[in-house]
Structure formats: structure tokens, C-alpha cells
Amino acid sequence: MDDKNRTSRNKYKILHDEEFIKWRLFRTKESEEQWNNFSAENPSLQRSIEEAITQFNSLRINRRVLSEDEKQEMYTSILRKIQKIRKRKIRKIITSSAAILLLFIASALYVWNNKNSGEFNLGDNETIIGQTLPDEEIQLISGKNIIPINQEAHIGLTQDSKALITDSTDNKREITLASQEINQLIVPFGKRTDITLSDGTHIWLNSGTQLDFPTVFTGKTREIYVYGEIFIDVAHNSKIPFIVRSKEIEIEVYGTSFNVSAYNDDNKKTVVLIDGKITIKTEGNDKIDLFPNEKIDIEEHKLLKEKVDVSEYISWTKGVLEFEQTPMSEILKKIGRYYNVRFDGSPDIALNEKSCSGKLFLSNNLDSVLTSVSVLSSTIYKRENNKIHIIKK
């Protein structure tokens, strides 16, 4: 019998041997040693053993394979998920490294004064009456161009004077901005939007807010102008301070600090600090430091500082309103801004004093939101066209 034949016959015996099979399947330390020894002691069998091992290795248990397409598809979806979360993380990193500030300026735009309440029905003592107002569009004004922006669209500025507008269906539109001009973003009541400036600073604009900003930041400071309510996450750059100006207010950001240098005592201004440190300077050159989770109200030369739960103040950026023992009048004011509804704000109505606590999801449907409010406050909600009635039970 020639060598080849013998090797092949021995291989057959080995391959079908119970102990060999167990060795290959279990690969225990002991079996490994035994077979190594056996192989060393029987040099003539080495080739047969090797062949048997090679052949045995083609054995599979529960073999299931995915197609290349399926694998690729899954991998792409993993990466997509990672991208999404990474974006959120980057925002978080900015949050922790630079200062975040909620600037709430109750300017004339915001005051729901009672002076012109004569125009509306006061109703009886038991009913609050509101009125929905006509819809307006968000506008981005750059040079002579007026660009209408959809609700829920995000605007991102690039360093080369372009604005990338992404709407809720992920449609992208690119607009070249006037490079030397100051642009305006005007958000009417009932609408909200957010924008990333050319330096990466992210700003959420609440209803009834106007923001003036340059196409690209040049010079020694980064400056923006605001009326209304914004939530701003300032991109860290210690060399170029960030300045938020408003009608009578100025907040200067050096790295992690803010300075409010001017304000007008006609308006109540509220600043809430989420992260970092800011210094607020009053007209009379008083300096006040604000630390995270602190709020300051500035009204008629009076400064009132207090610790607050910041979530209540920034929840609107996530489409939620949070209330904690908040009077009805305040809740309706916020809802009014959000949905562009005008509520009669007579302080004489006892119902206005009723307070409630809870979370309100600001859906697209005003009716469902006001129904939730009526449940929270044990009132009855009725709507006829643009007229809203909130009635005491």
C-alpha cells in the first residue's frame, strides 16, 4: 500500500473517531494535550491528523449567514444612529464647555397689557375669553431678500456666507446671504425656530422674537441683537467674546461669563443661567454674579435673584411647558404666545388666580392643549371658531 493511500485511510479513521470528534468540538485543555502527545509520538500519522483536522473544520453548527446587502444595510443604520446621537452629544459638550444662557426679555412685545382690554369681551367673573389670531410666517431677511421659513425648520449658517435650511421632512435649501449685512430672523407669535450661527452658537427663538445677526462674525467680538425670548448655547471661544444685546440690555460673554451692562427699567428682563458663569451689570454699575440654576429678574432698578429649576424655563425648546404652582394667567400667557392666541388678562377674574402644576406637551393642536389645561385646572374649555372660553366649573 502506498503512502498516499495509507494516509488517506488513516485520515478516514481519525476523522470518524469519536474521541477525535470530541476533541475538535470541545477543545478542552486535556484533549489538546493528549492529541499533541499522540501526534508527537506517531510522526507517521501527523499528515493524516492534519488532513482530518482540515476536513473537520468544514463542519458548521447552525450556520446562518446574512446577505452582503443585509449586512451593509444594518451597518448603515448603525452609523446613522451613531450620527444622530453624536450630534446630540456635541451639543452636550458645548453645553459643558461654554456658557448657556436663557435670556427672557419681557419687552413691550411681550406684555399682555390690560390697557386695550376694552376691545375684548371681559365676560363674567367665571370665564376667561381668548381669541386666536391670524397666522404669520417666520421670515429671514437678508439684504433685500425676504425668505419665508417653515415652522420646525432648522437654519444653519456656514462660514462661507450661506444658510442651509432643513425642514421637518429633511428637505434642504441653500441660500446665499448678503455677506456684509446684518440679517434678521423674525418669529411671529405662534411659531418657533432655531438657528446655528457661523461660529456654532445655537439659538432657539421662542414665539414673538426677533434676532439680528451677522452673516459671518468678523472683528473682535461676536454680537447679536435680540427682542423676545431666546435660549442660547454659546460656542466657546475665549479670544472672541460673545455679546448679546437687546433694547436696554447687554450681556457679554467671556468664555464662561456674561455681563449685562444696560437695561431699561420699563421692561422686566429675566435671565436664567444653565451653565457657566455670568456677571450682570446694572445701570448704576452694580455687579451681580449669576451661577448655574439661578434666575435674575430685572425690573425698575430692582434686581431679584433666586434659585430656580431651570427645566421650567427651557422646556419650551423641547415643545413642553412645565408648571409648578403657576397661576392660570401665566399659563395662558405662555400658551397664548406659543399658539398666537390672545387671552383677556383682567386680573380681577378669580379664575386667573387659580394655580396648577404639571407638564404640558405643546402639540400642533391648540384644542388638545387647552383641553389638557382645563383638566389640570378643573375648568371647562369651549371653542367657537377663533373665540376661546375657559369657564369655571
Contact positions vs another protein (CB under 8 A): 10, 12-13, 15-19, 21-22, 24-28, 38, 42, 45, 54-56, 58-66, 70-71, 74-75, 77-78, 81-82, 85
* Residue placing its CB nearer to another protein in the complex, 24 or 247: 24
Minimum distance, C-beta of residue 276 to another protein, in the bound complex (Å): 24
40's CB contacts (< 8 A; 6+ apart) are: none
- CA proximity to 101, closest of 319, 362, 280: 280
185 near 227, Cβ under 8 Å?
no
Minimum distance, C-beta of residue 311 to another protein, in the bound complex (Å): 24
Write down the residue that cell numbers 397689557 correspond to: 113
Element (DSSP H or E) covering residue 76: helix 68-97
Question: Which cell goes with 351?
Answer: 379664575
* Residue placing its CB nearer to another protein in the complex, 91 or 387: 91
* Residue placing its CB nearer to another protein in the complex, 64 or 239: 64
Spatial separation of the C-alpha atoms in residues 326 and 247, rounded to whole Å: 28
Minimum distance, C-beta of residue 82 to another protein, in the bound complex (Å): 5
132 near 366, Cβ under 8 Å?
yes
* Residue placing its CB nearer to another protein in the complex, 7 or 329: 7
* Residue placing its CB nearer to another protein in the complex, 54 or 368: 54
C-beta neighbour count of 312 within 10 angstroms: 17
Four-point Cα dihedral 222, 226, 232, 236, nearest 10: 10
215 near 157, Cβ under 8 Å?
yes
- CA proximity to 104, closest of 314, 362, 357, 343: 314
Give the angle subtended at the CA of 127 by the CAs of 126 and 131, to the nearest 5°.
Answer: 170
Question: Which cell goes with 314?
Answer: 427651557
* Residue placing its CB nearer to another protein in the complex, 39 or 161: 39
Minimum distance, C-beta of residue 12 to another protein, in the bound complex (Å): 7
Angle between the N-to-C axes of helices 46-56 and 18-26, in degrees from 0 to 180, rounded to the nearest 10: 60
* Residue placing its CB nearer to another protein in the complex, 23 or 204: 23
Minimum distance, C-beta of residue 50 to another protein, in the bound complex (Å): 13
Minimum distance, C-beta of residue 103 to another protein, in the bound complex (Å): 32
User: What is the rounded radius of gyration, in angstroms, for the C-alpha atoms of the chain?
Assistant: 34
Minimum distance, C-beta of residue 33 to another protein, in the bound complex (Å): 13
224 - beta bridge partners?
244
* Residue placing its CB nearer to another protein in the complex, 19 or 309: 19
Minimum distance, C-beta of residue 292 to another protein, in the bound complex (Å): 24
- Amino acid (1-letter code) at residue 209: T
Question: Which cell goes with 93?
Answer: 459638550
Backbone angles phi, psi at 318, to 5 degrees: -105, 10
